């Protein structure tokens, strides 16, 4: 049995974002319970030169929506990266999940060899669809979700591995 490009992308990204939603929910409840200004958590970083929680979420959602759009050969919606409150971050994640759920397998399956070019600050990077998904999208997506998790865990939010992995 083989796995399709759709199966390896959209459902995986939706699951990661759904788990991130739950983690953000626990962080919001933690801030309320402990009477912590929520922006302390949404602006928190692991180290001064790292991006804060809100930017980790912006990048994870941009990576997810960009993946589906590029593989399907359509333009991704543009988000303004202004969300900083928990409610705004929840809305952004949900908008991304809703967008991902508009894709059908036939839009993404068979894109393994499609040429994908990313415009980066250092210049363009060329991928095939499969290499883009496996060597750029998934590692980048999980890096930013993991960093968001780590920021919250480091700040005392009671989350664990099962929150990150989610329930089956």
pLDDT by 10s per residue, the chain, length 168: 689 999 999 999 999 999 999 999 999 999 999 999 999 999 999 999 999 999 999 999 999 999 999 999 999 999 999 999 999 999 999 999 999 999 999 999 999 999 999 999 999 999 999 999 999 999 999 999 999 999 999 999 999 999 999 986
CATH code (residue 25): 1.20.120.450
pLDDT of residue 167: 81
Task: Domain count for the chain, please give it.
Answer: 1
Are the C-beta atoms of 41 and 148 separated by less than 8 Å? no
pLDDT of residue 98: 98
pLDDT of residue 1: 64
Cα dihedral sign, 58-41-139-14: negative
Distances (CA, A) of 69 to 22, 47, 100, 131: 25, 32, 9, 15
Distances (CA, A) of 124 to 43, 53, 106, 120, 135: 31, 27, 28, 5, 16
* Residue pointed to by tokens 């060329």: 126
Tokens (6 digits) for 6: 């759709």
Tokens (6 digits) for 5: 């490009």
Residue 126 DSSP one-character state: E
* 26 vs 150: CA distance, rounded Å: 13
pLDDT of residue 140: 98
Chain centre distance of CA 68: 12
What pTM was estimated for this model as a whole? 0.96
Structural domain containing residue 149: 5-165
* Residue pointed to by tokens 């290499």: 131
């Amino acid at each position: 049995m083989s796995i399709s490009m759709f199966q390896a992308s959209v459902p995986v990204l939706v699951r990661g974002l759904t788990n991130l939603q739950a983690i953000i929910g626990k962080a919001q409840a933690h801030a309320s319970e402990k009477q912590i200004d929520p922006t302390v958590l949404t602006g928190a970083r692991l180290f001064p030169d790292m991006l804060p929680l809100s930017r980790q979420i912006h990048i994870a959602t941009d990576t997810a929506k960009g993946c589906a759009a590029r593989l399907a050969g359509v333009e991704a919606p543009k988000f303004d990266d202004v969300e900083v409150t928990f409610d705004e971050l929840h809305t952004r994640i949900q908008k991304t999940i809703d967008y991902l759920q508009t894709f059908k397998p036939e839009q993404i399956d068979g894109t393994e060899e499609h040429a994908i070019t990313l415009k980066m600050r250092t210049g363009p990077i060329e991928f095939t669809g499969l290499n883009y998904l496996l060597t750029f999208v998934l590692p980048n997506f999980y890096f930013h979700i993991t960093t968001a998790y780590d920021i919250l865990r480091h700040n005392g939010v009671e989350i664990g591995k099962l929150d990150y992995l989610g329930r089956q």
